[in-house]
Structure 1
């Protein structure tokens, strides 16, 4: 039987932003294994801020598997971290989130590619031209060469893995890029974001480049990085209505502090109201308004207030499990009848 290389990946216990970790297990299978065929596996939690050295065993529980085209018979296995007694580890943000297969999420993951502490394309000791021409730009002066190569290669690996990418583009700031992933169910969508992040981080090793997910790595007149969350529920898609929408926006405004707390650290640096999104201490919605907290597509308003909405406040280093769960909790507060 062929030997498969199973890269078990998980989120460690670092705060406020966990790191991705991974290690490879070799197992024999007649064909590409199913999730149900994968065993649990252990790791040393004292090395990942998830256990004390005197009792360091933690357990990896597979929750999703993806083909890895960069390795012969390769697979990437997304895992939850469990305690030895089988209960979720306190750092396991996936185990307890709200999930709804009829809730659809589309995450827009922005990031910077960085070499020697500078975004790609930044001259040492200075700055490139002000942002303006870089967004969806083309040509060496706008996007360089190696960045495009990394982004395209990342896309191909993710598509090979079955990750539901919906698009890629160069972003507003020099050295800034974005990919979009859509999933049905908050856990499925968030799993794919984490796996796509892992693939990008690993790919950049071979280019001597790092991925910077911080939401505001550049001070001054430069855009920060978000992870805009597009979302819809079955009710929003099929029924909607202006009355329901107004109640939903009232609930989002009431829960503004709770949302900001779940949307990623250091968001006060990004949500200043000067660039891409409303100020952190205010809430607003608007039709096609990229400066709003929640942007409403023209199609949504024209279609009797049915469809999807875009929360622009989640940031690029946020935990998509927490973000999706917080959105679903707010939606659950609004009666549909």
Structure 2
């Protein structure tokens, strides 16, 4: 992200009633995408058949589409709430639907629910009930109307957070008075890779082969350079519809790889918005017949990996003299480098090699405008003497609740010894 601006009021976790003229995402949005992706596929392929069915005026698909697009608002006050939670791997999103008697504007108006934790790797079969607590709501871009997406976290029937519930600990950190006083802002750059369904090879790549070397694909246009733009654009609009604070998208360096940015977000909102945006992206790629990958290094070799760079600032960093506060934060981050690396996603050692715009996973570094460092500080921040830092270590599959709250904990709550601070300052050439 080029710059951290003022956050939206969405962090209050309220949503307004959707416009009656707004329409949800429908599968006919994918016709052009599917035609382009399957030009060379035989007419008997399922993807091609799906396109032909969508084009047919009298097909079963079109009749189904009509039912999916039904606006139930004039006929009932009831809405559909899609409860979303994180599964046992810590990266998979799960969801199920329920009817709510009337539209709601805040998660406190929603009932708790439960699910079979033995089927998600989160509970044993003889005690499988896990309880969902609604925490944030967004407008549903797929069903439209007053229907909603509900971000939940998971608890035992006794009210204890289960091990994969990272939101609970993050909420404790963000509710600390010292953290609240500093109003931490986050801008998260989520990179992802689109894969062909059957072969799990990047979109636009020859099956079993490779495109030309990196260079022409970043922020590109053209059928031979940009693969998956329809998905990126649909996701962009769906997030705006939902009320997610998405701030931009770009085509990434590796072909078939994209990025979107969420933020600036305040505190726990950052995690809620990233998880909701990931869920929406999973649903869109599902409709498009494309596989979403958050693997940090989907293709070995001379190709960029996928990260989740996290831009961070506090009130003190944003005020006059903030650059000195940023340098103190960098010092703290250097002393807890291993703690952050262990919390920044699975498989990160394959990405943080010191090549392809990354620092080595084993060495902490910082620099101004240096994308090969652990922490990058923008030139505007150096020039203005205040601003934000970019933590380039988090990988694409990191848990945003963990990454954002750990940044706040390390820079605002954790205090190193004076000896460790002095040694780190000398090593990093920091004067704080």
Q: TM-score, normalised by structure 2?
A: 0.74
SS in 2 for 1:184: strand
Q: 1:202 aligns with which of 283, 286, 293?
A: 283
Q: Is 1:131 aligned to 2:204, yes or no?
A: no
Distance of 2:356 and 2:362 partners within structure 1: 15
Structure 2 unaligned residues grouped into runs of 5+: 1-75, 417-431
Question: Once structures 1 and 2 are overlaid, which stretch shifts more, 242-251 or 174-183?
Answer: 242-251
Distance 1:325 1:72, change over 3 A: closer
Quickly say closer, same or farther: Cα 1:125–1:69, change in 2 above 3 A.
Answer: closer
Shift of 1:303: 1.2
Match status 1:186 vs 2:267: yes
* Deviation of the 1:301 alpha carbon: 0.6
Q: Which of 57, 63, 69 is the aligned partner of 2:129?
A: 57
Tell me the residue number matched to 1:154.
235
Alpha-carbon shift at residue 208 of structure 1 (Å): 1.0
Task: Please state how far the C-alpha of 1:18 moved relative to its aligned partner.
Answer: 2.9
Task: Using the TM superposition, give the Cα deviation of residue 185 of structure 1 relative to its aligned residue in structure 2, in angstroms.
Answer: 2.5
Match of 1:5 in 2: 80
Structure 2 contact 201–208 (Cα < 8 Å) conserved: no
CA contact (8 A) 1:135 1:171 kept: yes
Return the TM-score normalized by structure 1. Answer: 0.94
Structure 1 residue aligned with 2:352 = 271
Structure 1 residue 28, shift from structure 2 partner? 1.7
* CA RMSD in angstroms, aligned pairs only: 1.6
Check whether the contact 1:240–1:307 (CA below 8 A) recurs between aligned residues: no
- 1:238 maps to what in 2? 319
SS at match of 2:100: strand
The CA deviation string for residues 45-98 of structure 1, in whole angstroms up to 9 with x for no partner, is: 111111111111111000000001220432100001011112212221000122
Question: Residue 54 of structure 1: SS of its match in structure 2?
Answer: helix
CA, structure 1 residues 185+107, in 2 after alignment: closer, same or farther (shift >3 Å)?
same
Counterpart CA distance in 2 for 1:235 and 1:143 is 41
1:254 pairs, out of 326, 335, 341, with: 335
SS in 2 for 1:119: coil
Report deviation, 1:248: 2.3
Q: For the residues of structure 2 that align with 1:286 and 1:237, how far apart are their CA atoms?
A: 18
Match of 1:315 among 378, 383, 395: 395
Greater share of helix: 2
1:35 matched residue in structure 2: 107
Partner of 1:46: 118
Q: Higher strand share goes to which structure? A: 1
Q: Is the 8 A contact 2:130 2:155 kept in 1?
A: yes
Partner of 2:118: helix, strand, or coil? helix
Cα 1:27/1:245, change in 2 over 3 Å: closer
Query: Structure 2: how far apart are the matches of 1:245 and 1:43?
Result: 43
Would you say the 8 A contact 1:247–1:334 is kept in 2?
no
